[in-house]
Structure 1
Amino acid sequence: MISIVVPTLGRPSLATLLDALSGQLAELPEVELLLVDDRPDDTGELAVPGTLAAYTKVLTGRGAGPAAARNLGWREARGRWVAFLDDDVVPAPDWARRLRDDLGVADRVGGVQGAVVVPLPAGRRPTDWERATAGLAEGRWITADMAYRRAALAAVGGFDERFPRAYREDAELAHRVRLAGWDLVRGRRQVTHPVRPESRWVSLRTQRGNADDALLRRLYGRTWRTQLDLPPGRRTRHVAVTAAGVIALAGLALRAVDRSRRRRRVLGVVAGAAALGWAAGTAEFTRVRVAPGPRSPDEVSTMLATSALIPPLAVVHWVGGWWRTRTVPTGAPVTADGLATTGGGSPRSPRTPEPA
């Protein structure tokens, strides 16, 4: 049997996903569809097309995020393989048939990823948000469409629920699965991931993911990006730009209250140099984001504003994440029952309390 697990917040995209699956699941000899309703409040039942009713079971999540919702789903699953889909993807018309073919792999293979296609607008360059979404097409082992053997999930304890967002939790799971001796491969099935409408300030909200990066740094040390096959980031530059801005403001504030002409002159020079460093760093970041985009007035103004705000926000979230996870035991994924597990899935130590 193959189990398909879809955590959802009840977004309109779920109906599109279910419509795409209707009529396909009959091509699989044994299959079940587990919808994990992870909405934090009771907003009514999820609508399931009649053609899928015989295959579908709806589970009630805890509103604790996608990692916890997926853990609930695979633990309820009966299949030897568990295929995770996000609720905002659209499976291709032959997705189910190709999934069946993808899972015909050697016993050492613990997971098979599907291909993710992100359609971008024709006739103009993509915006910053559109390019960020398009990055999913190059992502490794992302659960937009990722199938795991249930045995592999059980061996490593599933997703680490200390990751509260749809960010890094899938890469971290894949790393532990490989450490446990399983291979991960790419399959031929395909889903489309449309670019959903977002506020012009979405890049500020996504900086919360820096707190999750701090957790990964705590768990895996300085080489966490290399270990998890993640691309390099800009944190060092963000820290430098933020520090320059803080020094410039502090220098100006001290200069305004200092009565010594000599010290005022020195503070003015320091503040001016720091301000130039901040301006140069912010301009470089803005250029990198504007150059590949449509360069419309609205996009350029958004990039100017957010490029000034992202570095300090990234640093604040990173520091906050570091502080909250400073006592987290390394190498201990957290399960739904509140226990940290070893690679074999046996309880090891109590869960570190969630940060307030």
Structure 2
Amino acid sequence: MSAGQGGAGPGNGYAVVVPTLVRDSLADCLAALAAATGPGPDEIVLVDDRPGSRADPGALEHPLTVLGDLRERTVVLRSGGRGPAAARNTGLRAVTAPWTAFLDDDVQVGPHWCGELIQDLAEAAPDTGAVQGVIAVPLPGERRPTDWERDTAGLARARWTNADMAYRTVVLRQVGGFDERFTRAFREDADLALRVLDAGWRIRRGRRTTRHPVPPAARWVSLGQQRANADDALMRRLHGPDCCDIGSGAAGTPAPLPPAGAGRDRAGHRRPHRGGRHPGPAAPGLPGAQAQGPGAAVRLTDRTPT
């Protein structure tokens, strides 16, 4: 059964949010999602983050056609070129499902991803706020991988990567979503995960698999990596001086996840709430949630714009 058929059980319904710059990889990403077996998503939110001058609507025509029956469950939103954190928040605002699964536009979910995701969500304990997918990065077998290829392969060991990460929607709203001060695809996922852990939730690794091909190395890739130092500085200001020292490689690839089900710090201990240390993300208009902790009854409210 393809993703276009069937439906998840109560409490396990999910939306898929894909922020995109409408790269060539987007069509492959959506085609893999449409072909995956198991209960399909309740909704797909495709967030076009191209700046206005580059946003040719015709570029989305082919990627949308590969969705097949899922096309009728898909909405396209614009986020104005403000970066992946803002794009994901734009998508989150439109989600009504209990779970929100984020996919990058350059990944390809496995052939049974939808069914495996439902299993991951069904097995999540009440205090589990997020379940991460297993990332596989194919490398060339006939030669030594380049530095760029090895850096990308680090995603297979990374914790908290949003290449394939499913959060309880109410948890995302409880912590205020992504911090839009992170304007690049770097550290915004770790920042969110640390705030979710600080709120008392656990993050575990699931069983579903997603393939992340190595993208072509941009001409100025080293300059982009240097600019990421600003994101490290923001992380240290928000989470302390050691928050970025998590086994990073040349491209800042984070260290492996703790064992499945461990919402814990780098040493494997439960992370205490650091009350007030993080001033909160800049995500105007994101629906918020008020709760006493994991598993508590949560009431959605309108978050006051900041």
1:22-46 deviation per Cα after TM superposition (whole angstroms, max 9, x unaligned): 2437x31662111001111231142
- Work out whether 1:39 is the aligned partner of 2:55: no
Which deviations, in whole Å up to 9, do the C-alpha atoms of 1:78-129 show, x marking residues without a partner?
1000000000001111011101111011111000000011100012111010
Change (3 A) 1:112 1:166: same
Deviation at 1:233, TM superposition (A): 7.0
Amino acid corresponding to residue 129 of structure 1 in structure 2 = W
1:146 is aligned to: 165
- Cα deviation for residue 167 of structure 1 reads 0.2
Kindly tell me: are residues 109 and 7 of structure 1, through their superposed partners in 2, closer, same or farther at Cα, counting changes over 3 Å?
same
C-alpha spacing 1:89/1:78, structure 2 compared with 1 (3 Å) = same
Larger radius of gyration: 1
Indicate the residue corresponding to 2:140 in structure 1.
Answer: 121
TM-score (norm 2): 0.76
1:120-175 deviation per Cα after TM superposition (whole angstroms, max 9, x unaligned): 00121110100110111110010000000011101100110000000000011000
Question: Are residues 1:231 and 2:178 paired?
Answer: no
Aligned to 1:205: 224
Q: 1:347 to 1:77 in 2, by over 3 A?
A: closer
The 5-angstrom pairing of residues 51-90 of structure 1 reads: 51-90=69-108
SS at structure 2 position matched to 1:167? coil
**How far apart are the structure 1 equivalents of 2:290 and 2:160?**
19
- What is residue 279 of structure 2 aligned with on the other side? 332
Identity %: 52
Alpha carbons 1:67, 1:159 under 8 Å: kept:
yes
Q: Distance in 1 between matches of 2:303 and 2:16?
A: 30
Please, which runs of 5 or more residues in structure 1 have no aligned partner? 235-328, 352-356
Q: What number of residue pairs does the alignment pair up?
A: 252
Using the alignment, how far apart are the partners of 1:346 and 1:2 within structure 2? 20
> Relative to total residues, which structure has the larger helix share, 1 or 2?
1
Do structure 1's residue 91 and structure 2's residue 91 form an aligned pair?
Answer: no
Query: 2:139 is aligned with what amino acid?
Result: L
CA distance in 2, matches of 1:134, 1:223: 24
Q: How far off is 1:201 after superposition? A: 4.5
- Quickly say closer, same or farther: Cα 1:37–1:200, change in 2 above 3 A: closer
Contact kept in structure 1, 2:128 and 2:204, CA below 8 Å: yes
* 1:220 Cα deviation from its structure 2 partner: 2.1
Residue in structure 1 matched with residue 18 of structure 2 by the alignment: 6
Matches within 5 A, 1:194-343: 194-199=213-218, 201-225=220-244, 230-231=246-247, 331-337=278-284
